[in-house]
Chains A and B, each alone.
Chain A
């Protein structure tokens, strides 16, 4: 099975940087995903890591260390619209299921 941990809440100021950590313990690993979910809406895909290292996509970057079972999502130049829940999800090896963490609620303040 999968055990995925991420902080419950984070608060940051508009224009700042926030790093959301995710640790996981898994019996099989085939990639880690980050999704953004606004209240009452479905998750939207942000990033995917399967190899160690940093993936950068505009203001968002995601990092993975498979040996440490660790990932982070970095949000730069925070905007008010970035206030949302950020979900870390790990994909299993053989059946492509995603196991989700509980999500980190990020609140961006002016």
Chain B
């Protein structure tokens, strides 16, 4: 159990365009979803926390107008990188947490974004 999917797995886009990444919990209802960014050989940095039906909470230094997060249902959250720039190129990973006792975060497979 506890499968999280992410789409697309890889995307290459031109500078100035917007990219949407989807995160779905396939076999459980995710009350909370988290979005992380990871640069090569570095650890995961939390970008934002989203709860279904409410606005996302962004970490310090993350621009909410640039990284739009929508958590429309208990199984789907989306991250849109608006007006992408080369420095936004990174590995974006979502995780989903249910309502169990442990509330373990289960991670999606990640999306490799390359902005040209």
Partner-B contacts on A (CB < 8 A): 31, 33, 35, 40-45, 48, 87, 95-103
B43 adjacent to A100 (CB under 8 Å): yes
Q: Across the interface, do B103 and A96 meet the contact criterion of CB distance under 8 Å?
A: yes
A42-B93, A96-B97 given as contacts; is B104 within 8 A of A48 (CB)? yes
**Does the CB pair A95–B93 fall under 8 Å?**
no
Evaluate contact between B49 and A42: CB separation under 8 angstroms: no
Q: At the interface, is chain A mostly helix, strand, loop or mixed?
A: loop
Chain B residues in 8 Å Cβ range of A48? 102, 104
Q: Provide the bound-state CA to CA distance between A43 and B93, in Å.
A: 9
- Name the interface residues of B84-100: CB closer than 8 Å to any CB of A: 91, 93, 95, 97
Q: How far is the CB of B38 from chain A (nearest CB, A)?
A: 9
B46 and A42 contacting across the interface, CB-CB below 8 Å: no
For B108, give the chain A residue with the smallest CB separation. Answer: A42
- The closest CB in chain B to the CB of A50 belongs to B102
Q: Which residues of A contact B2 (CB under 8 A)?
A: 45
- Contacts of A45 on B, CB cut-off 8 Å? 2, 104-107
B54 interface residue (CB < 8 Å to A)? no
